[in-house]
Amino acid sequence: MAKTNPEAKQKQSEEDEQRKADVTYRRKPNAIADYQVQEQTVFVRSENDIELRVTVHTPEIIQLRYVLEGDRPTDFSYAIAPDFNPDNAEFSTRETDQYLEITTDSLICKISQKDMKVSFLDSSGTELCKDAKPFHRKDSIMKGITEVKITKEAPEGTHYFGLGDKITDDGMLRGKSFQNWNTDAYAYELDEHRDPLYRSIPFFTAINKDGNAYGIFMDNTFRSHFDFDSDDNNTCTFSAEGGCMNYYFIYGPDPTTVTERYTTLTGTPELPPLWGLGYHQCRWSYYPEERVRTLAKTFREKEIPCDALYLDIDYMDDYRVFTWNNDRFPDPKKLISDLKEDGFETIVMIDPGIKVDGDYEIYQQGLKNDYFCKRPDGELMIGPVWPPKTVFPDYTHPEVRQWWGDLYKDLLTEKGVSGVWNDMNEPAVFEVKAKTFPDNIRHHYEGEGVSHKKAHNIYGMQMARASYKGIKKHNQGKRPFLLTRANFSGGQRYAALWTGDNIANWEHLRHALEQCVRLSISGYSFVGTDIGGFVEQPSAELFTRWLQLGIFHPLFRNHTMGYDAEGADVVKEDQAKQKKIQSDDNQEPWTFGQKYTHINRSVIELRYRLLHYLYTAFHKYVEHGTPILRPTTFHNQVDAKSVNSQNTFMFGDHILVAPVIKKGARGRKTYLPSGHWYDYRTNELLEGGKTHQVDAPISEIPFFIKAGTVLPLREVMQYTQERDPELLELNVYYGTQVSESHLYEDQGEGFTHNEGDYRLTKFQFESNPQEKTLRLSADREGAFTPKYDTVKINLIGLPFEPEGVEADGRSVSIQKSSADQSVYAFEVDPDFKTIRVY
C-alpha cells in the first residue's frame, strides 16, 4: 500500500476547495431537434435544449436570440425605436439534410442541422456572413451568466466600420478589439484609457471583398466585447458579460443603406433648431456674468458669427443642479434675455449627481419619493462627484424620468435658457478606480429590477431621454437642444453628443476626424468634438485646423478646460497629473493673434455659407437615417483603393472633405473616388479614381464637390436667424451624368414643419455635351415660402461658351462672374421650375 504523501493530500484538498468555490458551465447547441414557426419568428431547438429564435422583421433585418431553459428573455429594449414598424415580411422555411433555411425576398439564413451555426446569403446565393463556431455561453453558480458569444468568420479583405467612437492608429477596426462600458475617459490617450470611452454603440458594418455590406447590432446592454480578427485567425467575435445573446443581422448591400436600416431600427432625432447648427462657444467656465457679457460683445465687435454660449458647472450654487450662484449670476434671467437680444442662445450644464444636503429641495424630493439608486441592502448609493457626497436618480424608472424632466421647467420658462448639456452620465464617480458605480447597485429598469451590470451602459441614455422629454414639454413650442456625453444605441433619438475630454494635440485632431465619422455611420450623426481640444492649449495652427474640420461636423462647438475653473484642481490632481499648465489658456477664435483671427472668422463664415446644405443633410438623416458623415469608401464600396482613404470623408451626399491634420502641412494627398470632383476653392475639375496632391495653405481646408451637384449657399450672418436671407445662391457644378440634389428649408424653429410648413426642393441636373446644353429643373414639395426673392445661380465648369439662358420659357441675362471668369452667373425667380442653358 502506498503511503499518502501529505503534500499531495494538501494540494488535493486545495483543489477541491477551489472547485467548490464556483462551478462553471459552458454551453453550445448541438444538432437541431425541431423547429416551429409562429408569426414572424422561427423557434429552432437543439437536442440539448438551446433555443434559437429567428425573427424576420423586414426582408433585410433579421433578429437572432439564443434562449436557454430557465432564462427570462423579454422583448423589451431601450435601443429599438418605439416607432420602428416592421413590415411583417413574408418568408419561407425549408429543411435539407444539412440546413434549415429561412428565406426572405433579400436574404437566406441557413442554420446548420449539426450545430446550429448560422450563415447569411443574399438572394443570389452569395455568402455574406458565416458563423465560424456555434453560439457559446458561459455561466456559473456564483456569478450567473458571464459570457454570451458569437464567432463569425472574418475572411481576408473584409473591412469593419462603425462601433461608435472607437479610436485606432490607422482608422481601421480590423486587427483590433474593443469593449463597451461607458467610462469617464478624461484625456483619453493612445495606450492609457483609450478604450472604453464614454458611450456604447454595439453596432458595426462589414464590407466584404466583393463589395457586399451587412451590419450587426448586438442589442445587449451589459459590458460587451468586439474583436475584429485581432488574433489574426480570420474570426470576428462579439460577446457580452451577461444577459441574452440578441443580435440583428442587417443587410445592405450598400454600407450607407446598412446604416439607414440600423437607424430606422433604433430611431432618428427630430430636427434641431437651426441655431443648433451654428457656431457655439464654450469653456469650463465662463463666469461671472460680466465675463459672459464681454464674451458676447467681443463676438459681435469682431464680427465672428456665433449662435450659442455655454455655462459650465460654475454657474450653479455649490454644484447643486438646477440652482444658480447668486454672486456670479445675480440676475440670470436678465443676462439670458440680453444675450438673446443680441442673438446668443444660452446653454447650461446639468449633471446627474444630486448633492446630499438636507436643505436642498431636489435632494429632499428624490429622497422622499425613493428616486435614487440604491445598494442591494437598500442603502443609498452615495459617492463623490462635484459635491463630495452625491446621490444619483434612477433614470430607468419612468416616474423618475418624469420628475427629472419637469425640473427643467424653471430654467426654460423662467430663466429663458435655450438648451442643456448633460455631463458625467456614464455615470462618473470620482476617487474610485472603477470611476463608476459598483456592479451590484440596483435599478428599476422599467420594473424588471436589474443590477448595474445591465443598467450601466444605458444610464446616460435614460438621463438624456428624461431631459429631452422634459425640455420638449416645457420649451414653449421650440425645438429642444440637448447634448449628452454618455449614451447607448438608440440614444440618438434624444440628444446630440460631444466626444468628451480630448487633448489639444495633433493626434486628437485625427481622433476627432475618425470618431465623428464612425459615430455617424453608427446611427449618430449629431456629433462634434471639443474644437481646439479640451485638455491643454492648442497652437494657433492646430486650433485653426481643428476649426476647419469642425465646420463639417454637425455640432460645431469650441470648448476647453480653463484652469481657472473651480474644481479643475480636482481633475488635475486626480486624473491629469502630468499636464503642463499655461497661464494664458483662452481659446476663443481671436485668441491667437490678428492673422489667425482673420482666418478663423472666414472659416466660421464658411460654415454659415454651408448651413443650407448641412440642414438638408440633417433632414435626410431625420427622415431616412442617412448618416451625414461617411467614410470615403462608403461612396463606392467596390472601389478597393478607397478603403485606405481614412483621412478623408463624405459630408452629405455631394461633398468630400480632405482636412489637414498634420502639423506644418500646407498640402496633402487626396484620393478622389470614381467620378469627377470640383475643388470648392478654385473650381478646378479633378478626375476621380486617382490620388491628387492638393494645396492647403493655413487659411484653407480642401473639399470637393461631386460633378452634377447643385450646392445651396446661405448668406453669412452673425447668427443664423439674424435676418431673413435676401438671396439664395446655387452653385451648379457641371457634370455629364443626370444628377439629383436637394434643398430642405423651413422656419428653422418650432414644429410647423410637421404640418407641411417646409419646402423640399429636388433639383435635377442634366447636360448634353454634343448639343452644348444643360437643363436644371426644380420640383418642390411643402407649403413653406422662403423670404428671399432672388436665386442667384453660378454655373461652374461649363465646357462651352453659353449663348443664352431660358428660365421657364423666358430669357434671362447671363454674365461672367467677376470673382472667377470661368463661372457664369444669372438670377432667377425663387419658384423657377426649369432652366435651360444653351
Binding residues vs ligand MIG (CB under 6 A): 284, 312-313, 349, 423, 485, 500-501, 559, 571
Half-sphere exposure of 262 (CA within 13 A, CB side): 40
Closest CA to 698 of 556, 603, 604, 591: 603
Closest CA to 530 of 512, 515, 517: 512
User: In the chain, what's the furthest Cα-to-Cα distance?
Assistant: 116
The minimum distance between CB 410 and ligand MIG, in angstroms, equals 21
Report the residue number, 526 or 634, with the smaller CB distance to ligand MIG: 526
Residue nearest to ligand MIG (CB): 284
C-alpha cell at 457: 451602459
Please tell me the distance from the alpha carbon of residue 39 to that of residue 567, in angstroms, as a whole number.
57
Q: Please report the DSSP string for 68-102 in residue order.
A: ETT----S--SSS-TT--------EEEE-SSEEEE
The minimum distance between CB 334 and ligand MIG, in angstroms, equals 24
Contacts of 389 (CB under 8 A, 6+ apart): 355, 356, 382, 383
The minimum distance between CB 405 and ligand MIG, in angstroms, equals 21
The answer to whether the CB of 814 falls within 8 A of the CB of 825 is yes
The answer to whether the CB of 275 falls within 8 A of the CB of 719 is yes
Scanning the structure block, which residue is given the C-alpha cell 479643475?
568
Distances, alpha carbon 713 to alpha carbons 75, 605, 627, 791, 794, in Å: 46, 11, 21, 10, 11
The minimum distance between CB 526 and ligand MIG, in angstroms, equals 17
Report the residue number, 65 or 485, with the smaller CB distance to ligand MIG: 485
The minimum distance between CB 282 and ligand MIG, in angstroms, equals 7
The minimum distance between CB 328 and ligand MIG, in angstroms, equals 15
The minimum distance between CB 747 and ligand MIG, in angstroms, equals 31
The answer to whether the CB of 459 falls within 8 A of the CB of 182 is yes
Strands 834-837 and 805-807: antiparallel
The minimum distance between CB 329 and ligand MIG, in angstroms, equals 16
The minimum distance between CB 590 and ligand MIG, in angstroms, equals 21
- Indicate the angle between helix axes 289-301 and 332-341, nearest 10 degrees: 0
Q: Which residues of 171-205 are buried (b: 16+ CB within 10 A; e: fewer)?
A: bbbbbbebbbbbbbbbbbbeeeebbbbbbbbbbbb
3-state secondary structure of 172: coil
C-alpha cell at 683: 473650381
Please tell me the distance from the alpha carbon of residue 441 to that of residue 457, in angstroms, as a whole number.
13
Report the residue number, 345 or 351, with the smaller CB distance to ligand MIG: 351
Query: Dihedrals φ, ψ of 512, to 5°?
Result: -60, -45
Report the residue number, 40 or 558, with the smaller CB distance to ligand MIG: 558
The minimum distance between CB 387 and ligand MIG, in angstroms, equals 13
Enumerate the active-site residues: 423, 426, 501
Report the residue number, 188 or 703, with the smaller CB distance to ligand MIG: 188
Report the residue number, 426 or 746, with the smaller CB distance to ligand MIG: 426
Report the residue number, 349 or 643, with the smaller CB distance to ligand MIG: 349
Please tell me the distance from the alpha carbon of residue 633 to that of residue 647, in angstroms, as a whole number.
11
H/E segment holding residue 603: helix 594-609
Contacts of 363 (CB under 8 A, 6+ apart): 354, 355, 356, 357, 391
User: Cis ω on the peptide bond leading into residue 427 (within 30° of 0)?
Assistant: yes
Report the residue number, 225 or 557, with the smaller CB distance to ligand MIG: 557
Please tell me the distance from the alpha carbon of residue 119 to that of residue 125, in angstroms, as a whole number.
11
The answer to whether the CB of 731 falls within 8 A of the CB of 796 is yes
Strands 824-828 and 629-631: unpaired
Report the residue number, 350 or 549, with the smaller CB distance to ligand MIG: 350
User: Cis ω on the peptide bond leading into residue 253 (within 30° of 0)?
Assistant: yes
Strands 482-484 and 419-422: parallel
Report the residue number, 284 or 445, with the smaller CB distance to ligand MIG: 284
3-state secondary structure of 567: coil
The answer to whether the CB of 592 falls within 8 A of the CB of 543 is yes
Amino acid at 512: A
**CA 793 to chain CA mean position, Å:** 34
The minimum distance between CB 559 and ligand MIG, in angstroms, equals 6
Report the residue number, 284 or 744, with the smaller CB distance to ligand MIG: 284
The answer to whether the CB of 319 falls within 8 A of the CB of 387 is yes
Report the residue number, 538 or 675, with the smaller CB distance to ligand MIG: 538
Half-sphere exposure of 415 (CA within 13 A, CB side): 23
Please tell me the distance from the alpha carbon of residue 578 to that of residue 562, in angstroms, as a whole number.
16
Closest CA to 758 of 628, 623, 652: 623
The minimum distance between CB 306 and ligand MIG, in angstroms, equals 18
